[in-house]
Amino acid sequence: MFRRTATSTAFAALAAAAALALTASATATATAATAPGFVNGTDLPPHPTSPWYAGQVTQGLPEFAPFCLDGVLPAQGSWHRTFGTEFDTGAVQVSVRASSAAAAAKLATALERKVAACAADWLRETPGGTASWEDYGKLPVEEGAHVYGVHTSIPESEPGVHLYGIGRDGSTVTVVQWGQMGNLSHAPVADFKKTTTRAVNKLNP
C-alpha cells in the first residue's frame, strides 16, 4: 500500500505550484502576443520627483473607467495598462481592437466627442463646481490622433487636471489618460503630445 509521506506531499505541492506557474506564464505570453503595443513609464511626461510605475498589460477594461470615458469604451477587444507615481499623478492607457477600420474610426470619434463634452457634462452633475476644457489639436501619426485637456474643481477641494490622447492605427484605437491635482496651466501638454504619438506608433493594428 502506498503511504502518503510528508516528502511526497511536498513534491505534490511543488508540482502543483509549477503547473500553476506554467499556466500563468502561458496566459501572460498569450496576452502579450495578442495585445496591442503599449507605452512604458518612460514614455509618459516625466514627473519631477518620482519615477513612473507601470502595471501589466491586462485584457479587458480597468476596474474603474478613466475619468470622462465612462460607458464609451467597449469591453470586447480591449486591453489596458495603469501607471502611477509616488505622488498624486497617475495615468492609464486603454487600447481596443475593433472589428474593422470603419468601426475603429467610429469609436475614436465617439471618444473625442465624450472628452470634448466632459466639462459641460460634469458641471451639470456637480452643482457649485467649475470646469473647463481645451482642444490641443491633432497629431500627424498613423490615421491620426487628438489631444485634449479637462479641468474640474469643487469648493474646498483640490482641483484636478486631465490630459487625453486619442489615436488610431488601422482597426486599433488607443486612449491615454493622464491626471493629477492642478489646473490646465500645470499640464505638460508638449510632453503628453509625444506620449500620444508614441502610443499610436506602438500599436499593432
* Closest residue by Cα to residue 152 from 113, 194, 124: 124
User: Distance between CA atoms of 103 and 98, rounded to whole angstroms?
Assistant: 6
| pLDDT value at residue 59 | 96
Q: What is the pLDDT of residues 10-19, one digit of tens each?
A: 333 333 333 3
Task: Give Rg (Cα) of the chain.
Answer: 21
User: Distance between CA atoms of 108 and 130, rounded to whole angstroms?
Assistant: 27
SS3 166: strand
* Closest residue by Cα to residue 43 from 186, 183, 174, 182: 174
104 pLDDT more than 50 = yes
78 pLDDT more than 90 = yes
Residue 138 per-residue DSSP state: E
**What is the 3-state composition of the chain as percent helix, strand, coil, each rounded to the nearest 5?**
35, 30, 35
What percent of the chain clears pLDDT 70, i.e. is strictly above it?
83
- Which sign, positive or negative, has the C-alpha torsion 56, 51, 203, 114? positive
- Amino acid letter, 178: W
* Closest residue by Cα to residue 35 from 106, 109, 94: 94
* Closest residue by Cα to residue 184 from 166, 160, 165: 160
User: Distance between CA atoms of 200 and 168, rounded to whole angstroms?
Assistant: 6
Q: What is the pLDDT of residues 23-74, one digit of tens each?
A: 333 344 444 558 999 999 999 999 989 999 999 999 999 999 999 999 999 9
| Average pLDDT rounded to a whole number, residues 112-128 | 93
151 pLDDT more than 90 = yes
- Amino acid letter, 71: G
| pLDDT value at residue 27 | 41
Q: Range with the lowest mean pLDDT among 16-25, 129-138, 168-177? A: 16-25
| Average pLDDT rounded to a whole number, residues 87-104 | 95
* Closest residue by Cα to residue 91 from 58, 123, 43, 33: 43
